[in-house]
Amino acid sequence: MSRTATLRNLILKAKHAYYYSNEPVMSDAEYDALEDELKLLDPNDPVLGLVGSPVPPDTMLTKARHAMPMGSQSKVNSEDEFRAWCVKNEVKAIHASLKGDGASAAAYYRDGRLVQAISRGDGTIGEDITANALRFKGLPAWVGSQDAGFSGSVRFEVILTVEDWTKLDPARSKNPRNAGTGIMGRKNGQQSDCLTIFAFDLDETIDGRSVEFQTESQKSLRLAELGFNVIAHQIFESADGAIEYFQQIAKTRDALPIWIDGVVMKVDDITKQRDLGVTAGRPKGQVAWKFDSSGAETVLEGVVVSGGHTGGLYPTAQLQPVDIGGTTVSNASLANYDEIARLDVAIGDSVWVVKANDIIPKIIRVTDRPPTRQAIVVPSTCPFCGGEVGRRRISGGDEGVIIECRNPECSKKSTGKIRRWINSLNILGIGDVVLEAMIESFDMADAADLYTLRARSEEMYDMVINTEKDLRLGELRSDSILEAIDATRDLTLAQFLGSLGLDHLGKRRVELMMKSANGELNSLADWRSGKLRDAEIAVKAGVPNIGGQIQDGIDSMGVVIDKLLANGVNVRATLPSELPVDRDRSEKTVCISGKLTSGKKKADYEAPLKAAGYSLMDDVVKGLTYLVLADPASNSSKAVKARKLGVAVISEAELITIAGSV
């Protein structure tokens, strides 16, 4: 890079940091010295006439269209698959590059200046991240020779390096991929200068015509020549060399300065790539050979079904115990029955189990299907009550459906709703073992029965909680539990309704709806009156599409609500002045949205999050600490809103590091 180009780059980045982030990267004297030097070289340089930041910050996260679509690559998962790809396509020279485990984006330059950077998005439409990209390491703000500035686009991976990850999070409690993606999408630009780009492709234009590169190697050399930080790569003349490289990288990747999840193999000859063509948007001349997550082979010995408080039936694989990453794994997530069909997995199969995100055991493929295998049967009736089951599409759509019990009196639903009530109101001392014993001993049907236990305290003292050891609850523990229950006899409307275990209705949503409804929903009678079926009131309360569903849920709990009131639970009507104000940013809050990788519900995390000092919220609002999604790179409406508000979007694996295992 020429001295003029270097000066332009430094000045543009300094201007942006000064005007956009209020965090100058150099002193005024240092900046003046750069401008003075550029004036000596070219008094009329256009960069000298630029006033303010090179890009307005209010463009952050607005939708933007890629000039050329950013497609995906086909994948191979084994040496045999890679060799088959090489043979089928008559591959000779291979360009092998590290596949950075970050977020893809593209930068667009015109006459040397960076004019826009766009996240990958769906490959065609992404989000404008220019205001943050100007602060990324390895991405110049100005590119080219003194007289001929670079025009075109550069594709790159945005990565939080291990070094910077350790500086920001010394305990390494977060996955650097998700942490980096969250930083990249912050509207306030905070910590954007901790991110590094690794360029891997470009499209250069000169005099309005695209430059025809002969090989991928030439592209990589050109990227380095222009001053971009280029992803590590090597050229191999045969499949054998590329395979050896992949195997070496797989063994040593933990020592690399960045996290990677595989190696990208490209036909080095670009004409050959073009001749091979594209299938379903994926170029035939390129494949991504991804590493398996930490995993091992074992045998699927059985499947157990667990039930959620809303009726969902979730299959969990019982495995022949196997060591993965230093821990013994005997159970793994099967997500739902659509996933079982997709995997074509059956009892008796040998399966490959990985720790998704290095935490949650998950079956990713079948390695052997013996003739004695037994099909995993989709429940035709509820295994807990024998009731009718149905299918319900879960949030996220393409993740499939869940099988759910349709019997409103299902005992598992009742147990789940009792657990939800206990967790929501932080009634301490009632773990799963104690709850099961209470349900069996006192024939508890719902949360209202908790408030009858004071009259049966003597029976509680003698209640058996471990039959093998003849272990009983005892007086001290019983009294402690009863005191905790009695402490919840006087509740706010939000506490009461938000703890019933209804879809779409947590405590925070009740508060938000009451605020929005402006007096229409200030009492329990208001909520039970059927008002939410009135489209006008549903809109006013901020739930135009689900008001009727919420009302149906409240109506379905009518018997339980009446029992709670009859058993001494008092629900205080709430005046608008008594509603909590917007949460202070110092309060730690979490919103869990959609289907999680493990199949767990957000209610499962409420108690552990509370113990860790976090409140569980139902919506993305200003001041939220974390939004949890199965895919933190998602462009769902909540994810987009979170990034616009500067909320970190994290995965379930990161949630577990915060809340602990559930």
Tens-digit pLDDT profile for residues 588-629 = 788 888 877 777 777 778 777 877 778 888 778 777 888 888
364-373, 469-478, 621-630: which has the highest mean pLDDT?
364-373
Q: In whole angstroms, give the CA distance from residue 551 to residue 531.
A: 8
Q: Are residues 566 and 600 in the same domain?
A: no
Tokens of 271: 């004409």
Show the DSSP H helices in 61-185 as ranges.
79-88, 130-133, 162-168, 176-184
Strand 626-628 with 589-592, pairing: parallel
For residue 323, pLDDT over 90 is answered with no
Residue position matching structure tokens 């222009």:
226
For residue 357, pLDDT over 90 is answered with no
Report helix, strand or coil for 236.
strand
| Domain count along the chain | 5
| Contact residues for 180 (Cβ-Cβ < 8 A; gap 6+) | 102, 103, 158, 159, 160, 165, 195
Q: Are residues 69 and 50 in the same domain?
A: no
Residue type at 66?
A: H
Q: Which of 416-425, 475-484, 576-585 has the lowest mean pLDDT?
A: 576-585
Q: In whole angstroms, give the CA distance from residue 463 to residue 470.
A: 10
pLDDT tens-digit profile of 32-61? 788 888 888 878 777 776 655 667 656 677
pTM of the predicted protein model: 0.49
Q: Are residues 412 and 469 in the same domain?
A: yes
Tell me if 128 sits within 8 A of 305, measured CB to CB.
no
Residue 150, classified by CB atoms within 10 Å of its CB into exposed (0-12), middle (13-18) or buried (19+), is: buried
Report helix, strand or coil for 379.
coil
The alpha carbons of the chain give a radius of gyration, in whole angstroms, of: 29
**What is the per-residue pLDDT for 660?**
60
Q: Are residues 387 and 315 in the same domain?
A: yes
Q: In whole angstroms, give the CA distance from residue 306 to residue 432.
A: 14
Domain boundary among 264, 290, 316: 290
Tokens of 156: 């790159």
Instruction: List the CATH number of the domain containing 380.
Output: 2.40.50.140
**What is the per-residue pLDDT for 324?**
76
What's the domain range around 463?
408-581
Q: Are residues 362 and 426 in the same domain?
A: no
Q: Are residues 567 and 444 in the same domain?
A: yes
**What is the per-residue pLDDT for 585?**
40
Average pLDDT estimate for 197-224: 93
Tell me if 439 sits within 8 A of 554, measured CB to CB.
no
pLDDT tens-digit profile of 283-304? 999 999 988 666 789 999 999 8
Q: Are residues 103 and 226 in the same domain?
A: yes
Instruction: List the CATH number of the domain containing 652.
Output: 3.40.50.10190
User: CA torsion 126→131→137→142, rounded to 10°?
Assistant: 100
For residue 240, pLDDT over 90 is answered with yes
Report helix, strand or coil for 360.
strand
Domain boundary among 564, 581, 598: 581
Q: Are residues 397 and 421 in the same domain?
A: no
Express as a percent the part of the chain with pLDDT over 90.
31
Which of the two residues, 652 and 546, has the higher pLDDT score?
Answer: 546
**What is the per-residue pLDDT for 397?**
36
Strand 196-206 with 260-267, pairing: unpaired
| Contact residues for 585 (Cβ-Cβ < 8 A; gap 6+) | 623
**What is the per-residue pLDDT for 395?**
42
**What is the per-residue pLDDT for 282?**
84
117-126, 152-161, 512-521: which has the highest mean pLDDT?
152-161
Q: Are residues 20 and 138 in the same domain?
A: no
Q: In whole angstroms, give the CA distance from residue 355 to residue 327.
A: 10
- The chain-wide mean pLDDT, for the chain, equals 83
Q: In whole angstroms, give the CA distance from residue 517 to residue 530.
A: 14
258-272, 347-361, 599-613: which has the highest mean pLDDT?
258-272
From the list 451, 481, 449, 454, the residue with the least C-alpha distance to 465 is: 481
Q: Which of 102-106, 331-335, 592-596, 604-608 has the lowest mean pLDDT?
A: 604-608
Tell me if 584 sits within 8 A of 509, measured CB to CB.
no
The residues facing 369 across adjacent strands are none
Q: Which of 110-124, 341-355, 647-661 has the lowest mean pLDDT?
A: 647-661
Q: In whole angstroms, give the CA distance from residue 328 to residue 320.
A: 10
DSSP 8-state code for residue 291 = P
Phi, psi of 86, deg, nearest 5: -60, -45
Tell me if 331 sits within 8 A of 312, measured CB to CB.
no
pLDDT tens-digit profile of 156-170? 999 999 999 888 877
Domain boundary among 377, 404, 431: 404
For residue 400, pLDDT over 60 is answered with no
For residue 201, pLDDT over 70 is answered with yes
Report helix, strand or coil for 658.
helix
Question: What band does 30 get if pLDDT is binned at 50, 70 and 90?
Answer: confident
Q: Are residues 274 and 300 in the same domain?
A: no
Question: What band does 582 get if pLDDT is binned at 50, 70 and 90?
Answer: very low
Which of the two residues, 377 and 148, has the higher pLDDT score?
Answer: 377
Q: In whole angstroms, give the CA distance from residue 6 to residue 513.
A: 55
Tell me if 606 sits within 8 A of 423, measured CB to CB.
yes
How big is the chain, counted in residues? 662
Instruction: List the CATH number of the domain containing 25.
Output: 1.10.287.610
Q: In whole angstroms, give the CA distance from residue 339 to residue 347.
A: 15
What is the b/e burial string over 195-218, where b = at least 16 CB atoms within 10 angstroms of the residue's CB? bbbbbbbbbbeeeeeeeebebbbe
Q: In whole angstroms, give the CA distance from residue 199 to residue 106.
A: 9
Express as a percent the part of the chain with pLDDT over 70.
88
**What is the per-residue pLDDT for 349?**
96
Q: Are residues 546 and 616 in the same domain?
A: no
Q: Which of 1-10, 214-223, 227-236, 259-268 has the lowest mean pLDDT?
A: 1-10
Element (DSSP H or E) covering residue 263: strand 260-267
Strand 151-159 with 570-572, pairing: unpaired
Tell me if 527 sits within 8 A of 521, measured CB to CB.
yes
**What is the per-residue pLDDT for 399?**
44
Question: What band does 74 get if pLDDT is binned at 50, 70 and 90?
Answer: confident
From the list 287, 249, 271, 366, the residue with the least C-alpha distance to 88 is: 287
Average pLDDT estimate for 292-318: 81
Q: In whole angstroms, give the CA distance from residue 507 to residue 595.
A: 20
Q: Are residues 194 and 81 in the same domain?
A: yes
Question: What band does 314 get if pLDDT is binned at 50, 70 and 90?
Answer: confident
